[in-house]
Amino acid sequence: MRLYCLSSHPNKPCYVLRFKEIVMMLDCGLSAQTALNFLPLPLVPSSRLANLPAWMPQDTVDIQLEGELKECMGRVFVDSAPEFCPPLTNMIDFSEIDVILISNYSSMLALPFITENTGFRGVVYATEPTLQIGRLFLEELVEYIEQTPKRNQAKFWKDILHLLPSPLCDSFKPKTWRLLYKLSEVQSSLSRIKVVGYDEKLDVYGALKVTAVSSGYCLGSSNWVISSDYEKVAYVSGSSTLTTHPRPMDQTVLRNSNVLILTGLTQTPTANPDTMLGELCMAVAMTLRANGNVLIPCYPSGVVYDLFECLSSHLDNSSLSTIPMFFISPVADMSLGYSNILAEWLSNTKQNKVYLPEEPFPHGYLVKTGRLKHYKRIYSDGFSTDFRQPCVVFCGHPSLRFGDAVHFIEQWGNNPLHTVIFTEPDFPYLEALAPYQPLTMKSVHCPIDTSLNFTQANKLIRELKPSTLVVPQSYTIPPPNHAHRSELVIDQESRYVISIQRGEVVSLAVKRQMAKVSLCPTLADRINCSEVRSGICLATITAGLYVKDNQHKILELPDETPVVPKKRRLSKSEGESSSNSMRYEWGILDMDLFIRKLKQEGISDAKVEQNNSGYIIHLQEEDTLIQVEEKSTHIYCEAADTQLRLKLRNILMQCLSSF
């Protein structure tokens, strides 16, 4: 069994597992962090961005490079359509992939890069919410990029990486970065997804069984159990033990696996999600009281549902219930709609509301009462008339490089009354804000990441008791910005831990010993068992093997089929056993019994000699030697004397036990 790591980001994972000749991709996450190196794409042309000074390496005049790089407050940005770093393409041929398993909607954004124009012919498995909400994420991303096209694409800066300032010079292989896919590629890629339910047993070419189990992280998020007859691999990616809106994590089936691959732990290990939520509510209320607006850059689904719920009730309690909340995303209506029909994927409390029947999330009600208003875009009908200040605006994209958030930052950036609150942990907030500096609007960092933290993960590992644990390399050392926090790692004591990072392949020593087959009952009836020790019986079988869809059946051999392929002649002396009833001898030869039997058969001139390893019996008259050892008997005899040989054989077989 081998595991390949194709992604550098443990929260946007991409692995390939080779097991029983099946090639299985686990997640295909796309980190949008490369986008941070690019200038924002404003909806309305921004003179500030347009007038940023061009940047050139010192003592270099490269005409081709002209216009590619711009500087803002000491940071250099690429002025071009943003590019993304897809999973490594040189480790595995994507056309070989049989199955892709997707854990949740946030780790599938590279799917079109994998399945489109690569010769991919496999099948993709994901839960219904993963498909529906993943579609929203993909469509939103594509629309954000496409609504603000850039005329030319910068590429020459990639040739002079060594001359560029940090962090641009540290970019990983920027030449492999790619422009985002097209909407048509998204559609065709999603059409390959086969929807699965939790605890549904999927058969992969008869060789493996694959099951999704709830991971508690977001709507429809799943961990995967990949098993053969006797081996089990658990892939745990993006799990949460906190109680929010999704179905709770299911741990039972993950227990006692041969291999546990663990990834997608919290990106903000020092921030407690509940505390952060509290701080966010306070910050919002404070800003609103001061007549400022709040911008919360967000993804179109996920924690944002909890924010609507908590914030609206907090505002009610702070007598700010007249403040409107705006949710702006090309897929806002779909996101709000879908979340309320996916009851079967929700926590029990939310699920029980459906039986009343009430909508599981309060945002439907908030929309009905006008507290929460949603628009596709800032220029959608009604937005400018409905817009009132102060207000709370939820919109994308959290990287602040594209989407409507760019517009609000540009608009509100120089007013200290307003606040931008960062909740999504995917992007370092200072990096996100870098191209907008100097900024006078307040910025608050309240990352809410419900994924497992290190304490929870270590506890989980102890409970799951895997034989082998595989974790991203970054989990074996404390995070760079908390280098002294030695508790922020995965425990490696008392357990076999393998770490892996992008570009690496590890062999997982899972020794497969047994496979399950089915034995046909008529054959079973004819089996002749010999008890060799109390409780242990042996039976020699020669039978037909029938293999279909990687499933084996053992059947009786049809009579007309010779066990041994045809031979022209091979006389059968009578009483000769056919191989169908072939037996194996075992145990030690009882010399006294053997000699006695020889005498009975008229061979009385046996001369027995004892040596180191056993006995040598010499039949002088017949010129035959029998060498008897503990585990073997060897008869050397004249070729011509078949009668004697068969006689000896019979005697010997009478003296030995067999099965």
Partner 1 sequence: MSEIRVIPLGAGQDVGRSCIIVQIGGKNIMLDCGMHMGYNDERRFPDLSFIVAEGPLTSFIDCVIISHFHLDHCGALPYLTEMVGYSGPIYMTHPTKAIAPILLEDMRRIAVEKKGDGNFFTSQMIKDCMKKVTAVTLHQSLMVDNQLEIKAYYAGHVLGAAMFKITVGSQSVVYTGDYNMTPDRHLGAAWIDKCRPDLLITESTYATTIRDSKRCRERDFLKKVTECIDRGGKVLIPVFALGRAQELCILLDTHWERMNLKTPVYFAVGLTEKANNYYKMFITWTNQNVKKTFVQRNMFDFKHIKPFDKSYIDNPGAMVVLAPPGMLHAGLSLQIFKKWAPNESNMVIMPGFCVVGTVGHKILNGAKQIEFESRQTVEVKMSVEYMSFSAHADAKGIMQLIQYCEPKNVLLVHGEAEKMEFLKEKIKQEFDLDCYMPANGETCTITTPYRIPIDVSLSLLKAENSKYNAQPPNPKNARVIHGVLVVKDSSLCLMDVDEACKEAGINRHIIRFTSTVRLEDPSPPSKTAEKLYKLFKEKLVGWNVGLTDGSISIESVLVKVEGSEDEQKNVYVSWTNQDEELGSSILEILQSMGHVS
Residues between 485 and 514 with contacts to partner 1, criterion CB under 8 A: 512-514
Interaction between residue 517 and partner 1 (CB under 8 A): yes
- Interface with partner 1 (CB under 8 A), residue from 483, 529, 593, 608: 529
The answer to whether 254 touches 461, Cβ cutoff 8 Å, is no
Kindly report the backbone phi and psi dihedral angles of residue 48, in degrees, each rounded to the nearest multiple of 5, phi listed first.
Answer: -60, -50
Give the shortest CB-351-to-partner 1 separation in angstroms.
8
**Closer of 520 and 616 to partner 1 (Cβ):** 520
Nearest Cα to 316, choosing from 339, 293, 284, 292?
A: 284
Nearer to partner 1, 90 or 348 (CB): 348
Span from 286-294, 304-312, 417-425, 524-532 in contact with partner 1 (CB under 8 A): 524-532
Interface with partner 1 in residues 8-67 (CB under 8 A) = none
Alpha-carbon distance of 199 to 254, in angstroms, equals 12
Comparison of 374 and 445: residue with beta carbon closer to partner 1: 374
Subset of 404-433 contacting partner 1 (CB under 8 A): none
Q: For partner 1, which is the closer residue by CB, 347 or 540?
A: 540
- Please give the Cα distance from 68 to 154 (Å, whole number): 5
Scanning 33-41, 86-94, 576-584, 601-609 for contacts with partner 1 by CB under 8 A, the matching segment is: 576-584
Rounded to a whole number of angstroms, the minimum distance from the CB of residue 417 to partner 1 is 36
Q: How many residues bind to partner 1 according to rule CB under 8 A?
A: 97
What CA–CA distance (Å, rounded) separates 106 from 30?
8
CB of 76 within 8 A of CB of 160? no
643 binds partner 1 (CB under 8 A): no
CB of 425 to partner 1, least distance (A): 29
Q: Which is nearer to partner 1, 59 or 576 (CB)?
A: 576
- Nearer to partner 1 (CB atom), residue 52 or residue 543: 543
Tell me the per-residue interface mask from 164 to 193 with partner 1, x by CB under 8 A, - otherwise: ------------------------------
- 164, 324 in Cβ contact below 8 A? no
Minimum distance between the CB of residue 654 and partner 1, rounded to whole angstroms? 12
Over the window 266 to 305, marking each residue x when it contacts partner 1 by CB under 8 A and - when it does not, the resulting string is: ----------------------------------------
Question: Which residue of 288, 315, 617, 656 would you call a contact of partner 1, by CB under 8 A?
Answer: 656
Largest CA-CA distance found in the chain, in angstroms, rounded: 121
Q: Which stretch binds partner 1 (CB under 8 A): 11-19, 36-44, 49-57, 627-635?
A: 627-635
Number of neighbouring beta carbons within 10 Å of residue 597? 17
Q: Which of residues 353-372 bind partner 1 (CB under 8 A)?
A: 354-355, 357, 359
Q: Is 570 in the site for partner 1 (CB under 8 A)?
A: yes
- Each residue 205-244 as x (binds partner 1 by CB under 8 A) or -, in order, gives ------x-----------------x---------------
Instruction: Kindly tell me which of 486 and 513 has the beta carbon lying closer to partner 1.
Output: 513
Mask for 298-337, x = binds partner 1 (CB under 8 A): -----------------------------------xx--x
Q: Is residue 223 within 8 Å of 435, Cβ to Cβ?
A: no
The nearest distance, CB 310 to partner 1, in angstroms, is 23
Range 173-178, long-range pairs (CB < 8 A, 24+ positions): 173/85, 174/34, 174/83, 176/85, 176/86, 176/89, 177/34, 177/83, 177/84, 177/85, 178/83, 178/84, 178/86, 178/113
Site string for partner 1, 549-568 (x = CB under 8 A): ---x-x--xx--x-xxxxxx
Place of tokens 């050892």: 629
Two structure tokens written together for 646: 């068969």
Q: Which H or E element spans position 140?
A: helix 128-146
Q: How far is the CB of 140 from partner 1 (least distance, A)?
A: 15
Q: Among 340, 450, 453, 468, which residue interacts with partner 1 (rule: CB under 8 A)?
A: 340
- Of residues 322, 484, 536, 643, which one binds partner 1 by CB under 8 A? 536
Q: Does 532 bind partner 1 (CB under 8 A)?
A: yes
Whether the upstream peptide bond of residue 445 has omega within 30° of 0, thus cis, is: no
Residue matched to tokens 């910068």: 154
Q: Is residue 248 at the binding interface for partner 1, with CB under 8 A as the rule?
A: no
Continuous segment of H or E residues that includes residue 314: helix 303-317
The H-assigned helical ranges of 147-213 are: 183-190
Cross-strand bridge partners of residue 623:
none
593 scored as a contact of partner 1 (CB under 8 A) = no
Q: What's the closest the beta carbon of residue 636 comes to partner 1, in angstroms? A: 5
The answer to whether 255 contacts partner 1 (rule: CB under 8 A) is no
231 or 449: CB nearest partner 1: 231
**Whole-angstrom Cα distance, residue 320 to residue 327?**
18
CB of 193 to partner 1, least distance (A): 15
Quick one: which of 383, 456, 635, 647 contacts partner 1 (CB under 8 A)?
Answer: 635
Q: Which of residues 94-153 bind partner 1 (CB under 8 A)?
A: 128
Pick the binder of partner 1 from 484, 533, 548, 607 (CB under 8 A). Answer: 533
- Pairing state of beta strands 419-422 and 442-445? parallel
Q: What is the per-residue burial (b if ≥16 Cβ within 10 Å, else e) of 301-337?
A: bbbbbbbbbebbebbeebebeebbbbbbbbbbebbbe
Both tokens assigned to 581:
């009833």
Query: Residues 617, 634: contact at Cβ < 8 Å?
Result: no
If binding is defined by CB under 8 A, does position 548 make contact with partner 1?
Answer: no
Beta strand segments in 123-237, E: 123-127, 193-196, 201-204, 208-214, 222-227, 232-237
Contact 424, 295 (CB under 8 A): no
SS3 128: helix
Instruction: Round to whole Å and give the CA distance between 29 and 104.
Output: 10
CB of 306 to partner 1, least distance (A): 20
Query: 484 or 516, CB closer to partner 1?
Result: 516
Residue 36 or 249 having the CB closest to partner 1: 249
Binder among 549, 574, 576, 592 for partner 1 (CB under 8 A)? 576
Measure the CA–CA gap between 248 and 217, rounded to whole angstroms: 8
- Closest distance of CB 568 from partner 1, Å: 7
* Chain centroid to CA 124: 12
Cβ closest to partner 1, residue 100 vs residue 225: 225
